Amino acid sequence: MLVLLAAIFILHIVCIALLLAATIHNAWWMTNTLSTDIWSRWVWTGGMWNYTQIPAHYPQDYLQAVQATSVLACIFCILGLFVFVAQLYTLPKGKRFLFTGAFQLLAWLCIMIAASIYTEIFHKDEKDGVYGPSFIIAWISVCLTFISSVIYFILRKKTA
């Protein structure tokens, strides 16, 4: 049981790292000369990357929704880790990690909303760019946080 709990703890840490990377890193949409994330745009000029603001033609309401749900996913996942550690010591044997699973489910829902909105609204008609690694990491974290939440809902605290 201890090995299982350690593996779940490591999965949770991986989920947090991926969510933070997807939220912070500047590569949701990329071309040869620009890199855009949910916070800013970087343009390659003069042999270096230069910070610029997100263009005004981006739908600001959707962009703020993506930003907010990405940050909330990180917060819920981190809170879920603290709740998991607290439940290890406070739950009696045979109980499920429901609160931890609920936080992971909320993190999953938030990052899924963020990635879905970004997929549907932004860069739909642009042909000369690709979705960057942060966008891919966001979708990977959707899968991992969902798997993690299901594991928490199923997991019971048993005697060794």
Q: Where are the domains of the chain?
A: 2-29+59-154
DSSP 46: T
pTM, two decimals, is: 0.90
**1-10 pLDDT tens trace:** 788 889 999 9
For residues 132 and 120, give the distance between their C-alpha atoms in angstroms, rounded to a whole number. 15
In this structure, the number of other CB atoms found within 10 A of the CB of residue 146 comes to 18
Inter-residue contact 144 to 151 (CB < 8 Å): no
Confidence of residue 128 (pLDDT cuts 50, 70, 90): confident
Residue 116 has pLDDT above 60, yes or no: yes
**52-91 pLDDT tens trace:** 998 888 899 999 999 999 999 999 999 999 999 998 888 8
Higher pLDDT, residue 48 or 2: 48
133-154 vs 60-90: helix crossing angle, rounded to 10: 30
Average pLDDT over residues 87-102: 85
Output the pLDDT for position 134.
Answer: 94
Fold classification of 2-29+59-154 is Butyryl-CoA Dehydrogenase, subunit A; domain 3 (1.20.140)
